[in-house]
Amino acid sequence: MSFNTFGHSFRVTTFGESHGPAIGCVVDGCPPRLPLSESDIQPYLDRRRPGQSRFTTQRQEPDVVKILSGVCPDEATGKQVTTGTPIALVIDNLDQRTKDYTDIKDKYRPGHADYTYDAKYGVRDYRGGGRQSARETATRVAAGAIARKIVPGLQVRGALVQIGPHRIDRRRWDWAEVERNPFFCPDAEQAAFFADYLEGVRKRGSSIGAVIEVVAEGVPVGLGAPIYGKLDADLAAALMSINAVKGVEIGAGFRAAELAGEESNDEMRMGKDDRPVFLSNHAGGILGGISTGQPVVARFAVKATSSIPVPRRTVDRYGKETEIVTTGRHDPCVGIRAVPVGEAMMACVLADHYLRQRGQVGETPHWPFAPKPR
Ligand SMILES: Cc1cc2nc3c(=O)[nH]c(=O)nc-3n(C[C@H](O)[C@H](O)[C@H](O)COP(=O)(O)O)c2cc1C
């Protein structure tokens, strides 16, 4: 299997399967002398960890990260810092329950990747889905924690804004609320509704999709290359690479089609510090593939968990039509734990583009660009 790496200057390679001994990643290209220890990474993994509420899978994984390479103590400060060499991170798998999968080992779960893996490779690891499993996304969250250290002043936050057809009320958006409920939802009232709603979904043995919004603030102007290295294109690819993601929007996204030019253009004025400011952000902080300095805003749609205990029609590896009932431990709404994963992918893409920008152009912004007319 090839293509387990993403990024150019900040490169992340992940490895491991759901029921193997461990998962992990190698982060290559991280600048030297950044303070880095496990305690910088662990809090992000703790947010994604399974088994923390009845609305996520009951698999109990402590997800404790170990740094195997790429760091050493800094003589001056005594702190552990990056050395500029590959940083290898490993997370043990401790709560595999392979027997949950023996009944369905020859059957293809509709909506999952069992069929395509088998058709492509002629072999598939049925134990927890092997490499198809979103267990792999824990390693992206670990890499994202390192990425967050690279762009000075960057803040990347994600929030769940819709479950099934039920959207939050944006007037009640409160970032502090995201850390207070099990849904990463910024609307306290809607989070209370989601609790009842999802309980019903779970009890029916069903599952449901969700929409997540990720906002990056403190993004410098100038990140992204205008043709084949557009910041929005790389961001879309990174978010689309998350398991179960079926749609990505930047800024106004699909609603941009409904807006007239005078509505969708983000008008400009001069701000206090002699820099331009935009009066709206329909562009989602990106114009011509290059960051504007406004918040970068992306949303992604996550489909319903495919592994459900409701009987579904399928076929097996031998071409026989059959039924499948998928029991075991699954997230009733995988969109919830996708929030920290979306944040991590945004952070990795921005770190990559920040380093690429520094390599080619140096520090940005080059403002003012033109000398003032006399
Ligand atoms: C955080 C997270 C957790 C997931 N947990 C499950 C799960 O418990 N059961 C399941 O069937 N799919 C789960 N998925 C989705 C599958 O991994 C995904 O549907 C599968 O790999 C097929 O890929 P695709 O849906 O992108 O086509 C999860 C996805 C994410 C992002």
Stretch 322-342: mean pLDDT, rounded? Answer: 93
H/E element, 235: helix 231-240
Contact 285, 297 (CB under 8 A): yes
Nearest to 23 by CA among 56, 64, 51, 84: 64
Atom of ligand 1 nearest to the CA of 242: 31
Stretch 279-299: mean pLDDT, rounded? Answer: 98
Which of 124, 211, 306 to mutate for ligand 1's pocket (most ligand atoms within 8 Å of CB)?
306
Joined together, the tokens standing for residue 207 give 């599952």
Query: What pLDDT digit, counting tens, does each position of 33-84 carry?
Result: 999 999 999 999 999 888 788 888 887 889 999 999 999 999 989 999 999 9
Average pLDDT for the chain: 94
Lining residues, ligand 1, CB within 6 Å: 57, 112-113, 132-134, 137, 242-244, 303, 305-307, 330-331, 334, 337-338, 341
pLDDT at 102 over 90: no
pLDDT at 368: 64
C-alpha separations of 293 from 47, 59, 302 in Å: 28, 41, 28
Which of 133, 303, 312, 327 to mutate for ligand 1's pocket (most ligand atoms within 8 Å of CB)?
133
263 alpha carbon – ligand 1 mean position (Å)? 37
At 216, is the pLDDT very low, low, confident or very high (cuts 50, 70, 90)?
Answer: very high
Which of 58, 117, 334 to mutate for ligand 1's pocket (most ligand atoms within 8 Å of CB)?
334
237 alpha carbon – ligand 1 mean position (Å)? 17
Of 1-10, 180-189, 362-371, the poorest mean pLDDT is in 362-371
This prediction has a pTM of: 0.96
Measured CA angle at 337 (ends 331, 342), to 5 deg: 140
239 φ/ψ angles, rounded to the nearest 5 degrees: -70, -35
pLDDT at 367: 66
